[in-house]
Amino acid sequence: MNETLEERLSMLLDGEVTPFETKRLVDEIDCNPHMKALWLRMNKQRAALKGELIDPALDISSSVMSHLNSTSQTISLKNKKTWHISHFFPTHYFKACCYLLGFFLVLSFPLLNLNNFSPSDSFSKITNSSKTFNKNLPLPGNEALLVDLGSNFNGNLKNYRMVSENALEANYQLAGNEAVKIKVFFNDVPQTERLNLLESGITLHTKAGNEPVVLNVSSDQISNSKLIKISNTFFKK
Amino acid sequence: MDNEIALIELVKKGDKKAYNTLVLKYQDRLVFSVYKFLKDFELAQDIAQEAFIKAYKNIEKFRGDSQFYTWIYRIAINTAKNVISTKARASEVYDNDTTDQLLSESATTSENPENILQAEQLRSEINKALQNLPEDIRVTLSLREFDGLSYEEISKVLNCPIGTVRSRIHKGREMLDQTFSKYNLSNFEAIKYE
């Protein structure tokens, strides 16, 4: 049992355990002096290997925590800051608006040449069909597509917005609390944005009907190899 | 990194134990960074401590755009600059150039603590111990510690299962840990946090 815990502590040091396991290990470090000492030594070992160890006996954690306990600092538990339209409108009002919007959208299909549109289609169908993922489509109309896009890689759509006339930005949360941002540029990418895209995540160039669409997938928390896997799901059948 | 987000989420919910885990993780690195800046060990400890307290009080402002260490490093360096500025103001010659000058003087004139010698010995012994590890363990641990590869990436590079990577890294750390026995670091009091 101890052996397993020690190995898990080593995994915690490397960021290789789940959030649930993290909580368990935090409790273990707090209540088990052996585990706390081991955690301390593991970190000192890492610091020594990287030439960042200045004093083997250094431990300021007790004084930091004593200070925090004495000042009884409480952290206000703010509500999640994720933007959602239901924060601004009563739910029933929002639903009624969506129904009305959907009704008018159906009526406007022939006008907007959106007759191939189906919200349940995967992005491959969307990009290969006519202009369904459309800058002219109001945001709530694009939401179904964004939700559908996220379902391809088990990402929950947190929020989304039009960042300019020709671009929208959507934020997703994955199961492990990882955040992924997808930017969609209709037509072309502005000059100012080109350099940013080179340095940020994975960029895909595709088409919606005859119009070019550029997609950029980025995250501060996950590797590019995983971002590639996510971007591959956009084109799954 | 994933753990770090989980740890910070716990801290945001008021879990001080989680914060203590972060302090234990980063204290050596932070004190070292500030020490490099100021060349004053006592002051570096005080500033690192102050930075950890400030970071806890402002943890809601940490959005996760960068690593926690990057964020707290910035807090620590700003705190160090404020300390130097205060010193400069006290001598009524404060301006940005003076601050930089004081930082530079501090970096060259303060004496090193005795423990630095001990730390140098330990660093040297740890590196020697690393070189003496069995090759498979040494290579795996080095890919993790020096190249920063994840377990998955290491398993691909070495063409072995993730479980093997995990156990090699743990085994390597266990072997290196024996070096610490000489430094009496195993007797730490467990403190309970609310």
Residue A32 has pLDDT above 50, yes or no: yes
A6 lies within 8 A of chain B by CB: yes
pLDDT over 50 at B70, yes or no: yes
Contacts of B34 (CB under 8 A, 6+ apart): B43, B44, B47, B48, B51, B76, B77, B80
In the prediction, which pLDDT does B187 show? 43
Q: Which pLDDT band holds residue B171 (cuts at 50, 70, 90)?
A: very high
Mutation for A interface: B115, B173, B177, most A CBs within 10 A: B173
Q: Tell me which residues of chain B, numbers 75 to 114, contact chain A at a CB-CB cutoff of 8 Å.
A: 113
Does residue A236 carry a pLDDT above 90? Answer: no
> What gap in Å lies between CA B80 and CA B73, rounded to an integer?
10
pLDDT at A31 over 50: yes
* Confidence bin at A27 (pLDDT 50/70/90): very high
B128 to chain A: nearest residue by CA? A49
ipTM of predicted assembly, 2 dp: 0.84
Query: Would you say residue B45 has pLDDT above 80?
Result: yes
Nearest residue in chain A measured CA to CA from B122: A48
B91 pLDDT band, cuts 50/70/90, is low
Alpha helices in chain A (DSSP H): 2-13, 19-31, 33-49, 61-70, 91-112, 123-128, 139-151, 191-199, 224-233
Mean predicted confidence (pLDDT) in A47-53: 90
Please tell me the number of Cα atoms within 13 Å of A125 on its side-chain side: 14
Q: Is the pLDDT of residue B43 over 80?
A: yes
**Chain A closest-CA separation from residue B101 CA (Å):** 24
pLDDT in tens, A217-234: 888 888 877 888 788 787
Q: What per-residue confidence (pLDDT) applies to A87?
A: 45
Mean pLDDT across A140-152 = 75
Residue A112: per-residue pLDDT: 53
For A184-208, what is the mean pLDDT? 74
Note whether A73 contacts B57, CB cutoff 8 Å.
Answer: yes
Do A68 and B17 lie within an 8 Å CB cutoff? no
pLDDT-derived band of residue A197, with 50, 70 and 90 as boundaries?
Answer: confident
Tell whether A22 is within 8 A of chain B (Cβ).
yes
In chain A, % of residues over pLDDT 70: 66
pLDDT of residue A107: 67
| Higher-pLDDT residue of A119, A152 | A152
- Residues ≥6 apart with Cβ < 8 Å to B165: B140, B151, B154, B155, B158
Chain A contact present for B167, CB below 8 A: yes
Read off the pLDDT of residues A74-124 as tens digits, 9 standing for 90 and up: 444 444 444 444 444 455 566 666 677 777 766 665 555 544 434 334 444
- Please state which of the ranges A24-33, A94-103, B64-73 shows the lowest mean pLDDT: A94-103
Is A210 within 8 Å of chain B by CB? no
Q: Is the pLDDT of residue A68 over 50?
A: yes
Gap between the Cα atoms of B161 and A103, Å rounded: 54
The pLDDT of residue B132 is: 93
For B112-130, the pLDDT digits (tens) are: 556 666 778 888 888 999 9
pLDDT at B192: 38
* pLDDT interval class at A212 (50, 70, 90): confident
Interface check for A58 against chain B (CB to CB < 8 A): the answer is yes
Which sign does the torsion angle of CA B39, B40, B45, B50 carry? negative
